[in-house]
Amino acid sequence: MYDNDIAVVGLAVMGQNLALNMARHGLGVTVYNRTWEKTEAFMAGPAQGASIIAAMDLKALAASLKKPRAVFLMVKAGSAVDDLLDELLPWLEPGDIVMDGGNSHFEDTTARVLRMRDKGVSFLGVGVSGGEKGALLGPSIMPGGPRQAWERVAPMLAAIAAKTGDGRPCTGYMGRDGAGHFVKMVHNGIEYGVMQLLAEAHDLLLRGHGMEARAQSEVFDEWNAGSQASFLLEITADILARRDALTDAPILDVITDTAGSKGTGLWTSRSALTLGVPVPTITAAVEARMLSNLRDLRRMSAPLLPGPRETPPPADRECLGRALFLATLAAYAQGFALIRAAEEAWGFGLDTSEIARVWREGCIIRAAFLDDLVHDSPARSDAHNILLSSAFDAHVASGQAALRRTVSQAANFGVPVPGLASSLAYYDSLRSARLPANLIQAQRDYFGAHGFERTDMPGVFHGPWEE
């Protein structure tokens, strides 16, 4: 008979590493995987000597845990979660807590919170970011659901989470229902955007400067300093320095130019459209991945579609670096604007300052400038866009000119930069006190009698379109 603190269900690499992380922090852990052979291999390998036991079935798993039980699911998002809950529920009791650490859609999580509540069991949707290494050494953890359930598991989550410079754990209560998975979804949307921006910067250095990978690595390493420093910049510099073990060519030379996805970027764009929040940098990144998968069409079209004839001059590395940082800020600004809009619409209890703190370490989009969003509360930040924060005034002032030059050069050279271009359009739209939407109102009224609003009086009016 055991009296373990928590169970981990699902032993893919993330599940294994989370279990090892928990055991390393003094928790008694039970593990279970649908395939017993995988459980055996884990117990005979990485788990040897750790405070981890294996359960052959869910009945044994439930019996091994102290009450109220805490069960952490690390299985594929979607129907697999519901199927597992069906199997697990007979062995749970009122007061037990189930946590879903996968990339589930936040609406599915909300439905599961209600479903499990009817059974007396608390369900938490827990966003986990940091990849395999983060799961082992300390991820960023974004839990949402019943607050009382979170309070009971908070000490365990805090123990295994990444820590900021002042020792605070990168986890905190995100809000009710599907709030944790909503925040993780937005995190992933920002991740899409920043990865695309970095890929475009790499492409401009390659095509605009003819810069080989090792030299590019040094440039990205230079950019990864001060407030611009980030995990994604760091790993991009490292990737560009790596060579293929089989051919000794730069590793990017042997990787196909197509990019897959698991759908969280698309979910972000869809949620933004539902809430009426523009996230053009994120959406451009989603569409860029779609275009990358049209590889056969692109290869067929390359010699057939004409492009510019001029030879690109060397790319201005300093200019490109400033442009990249402002575009990155724009991606984060769009994500935080979406979070604010979700809070206004659904009342999850989301706190953007707390989210910025939780993202400061451990997660894929961790970045130095997030400190400014945690510690500074400038009056202008209340305008729902971080680009208006005084903390970024200097970066915005220098970055906007650099971004214009970069996008203009890319267009002249025929190098696609959808992320950078969308970021610039987003920035210029924000700074436009007047946009041409009045013409769109007039067009809609002309063909559909939808009416329009006037600048000089309230009400809905129709134009003089009839002859």
For 83-108, what is each residue's pLDDT tens digit?
A: 999 999 999 999 999 999 999 999 99
311 secondary structure, DSSP code? P
pTM recorded for the entire structure: 0.95
Which of 377, 77, 368, 356 is CA-nearest to residue 231?
A: 368
Give me the residue spans of the domains in the chain. Answer: 6-177, 184-430, 438-467
Which of 104, 62, 64, 63 is CA-nearest to residue 82?
A: 104
Domain 6-177 has CATH 3.30.420.280: no
Active site residues: 184, 191
The pLDDT of residue 282: 98
Q: How far apart are CA 173 and CA 141, in angstroms?
A: 9
Q: Which two tokens stand for residue 134?
A: 């983060």
Which residues does residue 72 pair with via DSSP β-bridges, in sequence order? Answer: 8, 99
Q: How far apart are CA 322 and CA 410, in angstroms?
A: 15
pLDDT in tens, 300-314: 999 999 998 876 666
CATH superfamily, with its number, for domain 184-430: N-(1-d-carboxylethyl)-l-norvaline Dehydrogenase; domain 2 (1.10.1040.10)
Instruction: Tell me the CATH architecture of domain 438-467.
Output: Up-down Bundle (1.20)
Q: Which residues of the chain have pLDDT under 50?
A: 377-381
The pLDDT of residue 381: 45
Q: How far apart are CA 457 and CA 375, in angstroms?
A: 43
The pLDDT of residue 380: 42
The pLDDT of residue 209: 80
The pLDDT of residue 148: 96
The pLDDT of residue 43: 97
Which residues does residue 142 pair with via DSSP β-bridges, in sequence order? Answer: 127
Q: Give the CA count within 13 Å in the CB-facing half-sphere of 125.
A: 30
User: Within 347-436, where are the H helices?
Assistant: 352-358, 370-375, 393-413, 418-430
